[in-house]
Amino acid sequence: MQPPKCIIPLFLATSSETFIQWGSAILYEYQKKPFLVTAAHVVDGLEGNSDLLMLSPKAQLIPIPQKWQLTSFPTGKTRKDDKMDIAVSILDDDIAVGMIQLGFGFLGETTMDAREITKLDKLVYVGYPFNNQTCTHFQEGSLVQLQPVAFHTHKVSNPEIEGLGFSADHHIVAELNISRSNPLPSQKPDTPMPPGMSGGMVLRYENDQPAGFVGVIHRWTDPGYLIGTRSYALIQILDAAITENTTIVSTQ
């Protein structure tokens, strides 16, 4: 498993000629269909909007034209009340093939790690923070100087997870240690998690190698906790996207 190669940056057009890095997304294959997986708040209000962009097979930025399947929340609540915070979209086959030609790859179902995570497990949170990273032009199919960042950490205790208002069964929560990130992000000490990591992935490592896909990053809290939804929780929303079921409600 090559974690950075299955994570891509998402962009938002700010005008007809300019764009900013907006979030991260995971390329994932499920039931032989190519999916784009990210955090729901990354695409809120942008479903079907041509301003949300991704890399194309020709190494250009193109709108993401597909419909999104988002975890939802009860009437009167907001996205902050949706603690699962997941969005998925089925990619066209030609775009999926083109992403592979660009050097990216799709995680397969066998990488999904449903085992219980302990405080001894080494976790790596990977995504595209946009602090002080430039994306000015393309070179050989890649955005120059735009690199994923990996935060190396360990899970906090189940009581700590519950104390933060999350479920130890459905979430993976770890402390953020900026000094153990690779590469080290350019950021102020009072910015524990730079925007742009949302939609990235959480990996479990064994012997310094990725051993399983355990979660999707969707937020951080102060003090610095990194929070993700467990990867096995994706199955319901991936199935819903395939069947076009629009009634996914989750406040866990």
| CATH code, 50 | 2.40.10
pLDDT in tens, 55-96: 766 667 777 766 888 888 778 888 888 889 999 999 988 888
Whether residues 57 and 89 fall in one domain = yes
Whether residues 171 and 181 fall in one domain = yes
Whether residues 18 and 74 fall in one domain = yes
Tell me the H-state helices in the chain: 40-43, 93-101, 158-163, 234-243
Whether residues 96 and 187 fall in one domain = no
Q: Pick 230 or 244 by higher pLDDT.
A: 230
Lowest mean pLDDT among 3-12, 76-85, 143-152: 143-152
Cβ pair 217, 10 in contact under 8 A: no
- Statement: residue 134 has pLDDT above 60: no
Domain count, the chain: 2
Q: Which structural domain range is residue 75 located in?
A: 3-108+235-243
Cβ pair 57, 94 in contact under 8 A: yes
Whether residues 25 and 99 fall in one domain = yes
On whether residue 46 sits in a domain, the answer given is: yes
Cα–Cα distance measured from residue 180 to residue 226, given in angstroms and rounded to the nearest whole number: 13
- Statement: residue 44 has pLDDT above 80: yes
The DSSP bridge pattern shows strands 61-63 and 69-70 to be: unpaired
Task: Give me the pLDDT at residue 12, please.
Answer: 81
Cα–Cα distance measured from residue 144 to residue 135, given in angstroms and rounded to the nearest whole number: 6
DSSP 108: P
The domain that contains 163 carries what CATH number?
2.40.10.10
Q: Pick 59 or 14 by higher pLDDT.
A: 14
On whether residue 252 sits in a domain, the answer given is: no
Whether residues 80 and 104 fall in one domain = yes
| β-sheet bridge partners, residue 142 | 139
- Statement: residue 144 has pLDDT above 80: no
Whether residues 76 and 43 fall in one domain = yes
On whether residue 250 sits in a domain, the answer given is: no
Whether residues 19 and 96 fall in one domain = yes
- Statement: residue 219 has pLDDT above 90: no
Helix (H) or strand (E) holding 218: strand 209-221
- pTM, two decimal places: 0.85
- Statement: residue 33 has pLDDT above 90: yes
Task: Give me the pLDDT at residue 245, please.
Answer: 65
Whether residues 135 and 53 fall in one domain = no
